[in-house]
Amino acid sequence: MCVTAEWLAGLSGPEQVTKARRAAEMGTDSKDLVTTLDKLFSVLDAIEYGSGMIFSNESEKERYESLLMFAFRKSQAAQYHLRNVHRLMTEASVESEASERLLRAEFANQSESGRKSMTAKFTTRIGGREYAFELSACLQAIKSGLDFIAAASVRHLRGVRADSIRTLMGLVSKGVRGPILNEVAQSYEWLSAVRDYRHHLIHRLVIAPARGWQTSVTEAGLVKASYPVVVPVRPPSHVSDTRRARMMDEAVPEGLSIREMKGRVTHSDGRQHLIREEISVDPAPGFTRIEDFMKEHIHAFEGFFVGIVQSLTDLRGMTATMVREIPHTRD
């Protein structure tokens, strides 16, 4: 939802002003989620208390709305940590480019014969634990947001009390379905994945991603490739953070696939001349770029959130019907 001065100027009346203020406070990130939440809040504004309603007074309705807004704030927090990762990547790029300029200046100062005979390879590795800190905080925000969603949603499930998404997942694993729980069932695999990864990073280990770049200087010129910051797709079972392990760190960070291509010309007298060199660096199998990993989970969280809010909107403050079906295959 994009809030402009012209749009605000066209509003009149207390209800429209309330919507404008709410939209401005929620910001312009996650537009689908903002729009969906605003629709639910409009429905809540029109609800009258009565038989079959989950609210008996205004205070209960405000608590319900607050829980959903707490979940939304966690979505904003996750986006904030992703932006921090992009900021760190920008700073790293500036550092890498400065190093490249120094090498290019040194290369340019060499004589033609010196450049032809020059062969050098530089590998720079820099610890990137700040990336791991942002990833941990991002997943923690997502998990907290899921718990707030659960705490609001269970108000529609008669006889169910919960302050964690784990309770709703437990109902789904036992085969219980219905509004709200159908959304949990559809996202069950992702919910399990983000729960497990977050649990590893918060309670069991701290991953140690690294950044850096690789530079090659030959008669063909200077070629540089930056190392993307990568993380395991699935939580690692073990990470060693001892003095010996840090001393034995490889120059090239774990999780990277590096390919080098060289093009040579062979002259009639048998001499070879290197005319082209390329270096490409990509995540190795089982690894992915940290920014892609975070975006994937943020997108999944917001998609799940939108689905839940749509279900809550359809319920219009009423209790949801629950039915037992075939148990889920995973506990």
The conformation of residue 201, written as its DSSP 8-state character, comes to I
242, two tokens: 């001892």
pLDDT of residue 254: 83
Which range (63-77, 191-205, 245-259) has the least confidence?
245-259
Long-range contacts of 196-199 (CB under 8 A, 24+ apart): 196/235, 197/139, 197/234, 197/235, 198/136, 198/139, 198/140, 198/142, 198/143, 199/235
Output the pLDDT for position 18: 54
Which is higher by pLDDT, 147 or 202? Answer: 147
Average pLDDT, the chain: 83
Q: What are the sequence ranges of the domains in the chain? A: 5-76+134-201+294-324, 79-129+205-289
Q: Which CA distances in Å does 331 have to 117, 146, 219, 263?
A: 64, 18, 60, 55
pLDDT reported for residue 105? 75
pLDDT over 70, % of the chain: 82
104-118 pLDDT per residue, tens: 777 777 666 665 666
Distance CA 141, CA 302 (A): 12
Of 97, 104, 136, 131, give the one whose Cα is nearest residue 120.
Answer: 104
List residues bridging with 216 in a β-sheet: 121, 223
Burial class (CB in 10 A: 0-12, 13-18, 19+), 10: exposed
Q: Can you tell me the mean pLDDT for 21-33?
A: 63
Instruction: Give 4's pLDDT tier (boundaries 50, 70, 90).
Output: very low
The whole-number pLDDT of residue 216 equals 78
How many degrees, rounded to 5, is the angle at CA 293 between CA 297 and CA 145? 25
d(CA 16, CA 252): 57
What pTM, to 2 d.p., does this model score?
0.82
| Residues belonging to the chain | 331
pLDDT at position 211: 86
Q: Contact, 100 vs 75, CB < 8 A?
A: no
Average pLDDT over residues 72-87: 97
Per-residue pLDDT at 28: 46
Best-predicted range by mean pLDDT (214-228, 240-254, 259-273, 294-308) = 294-308
Structure tokens at 205: 């280990």
> In percent, how much of the chain has pLDDT > 90?
50
- pLDDT tens profile 197-251: 999 888 877 788 888 888 877 766 778 888 899 999 998 777 777 777 666 666 6
pLDDT band at 191 (very low <50, low <70, confident <90, very high): very high
Hunting for tokens 């993307």 — which residue is that? 228
Q: For residues 35-47, give the mean pLDDT.
A: 94
Could you give the CA distance from residue 180 to residue 82 in angstroms, rounded to a whole number? 28
Higher pLDDT, 257 or 113: 257
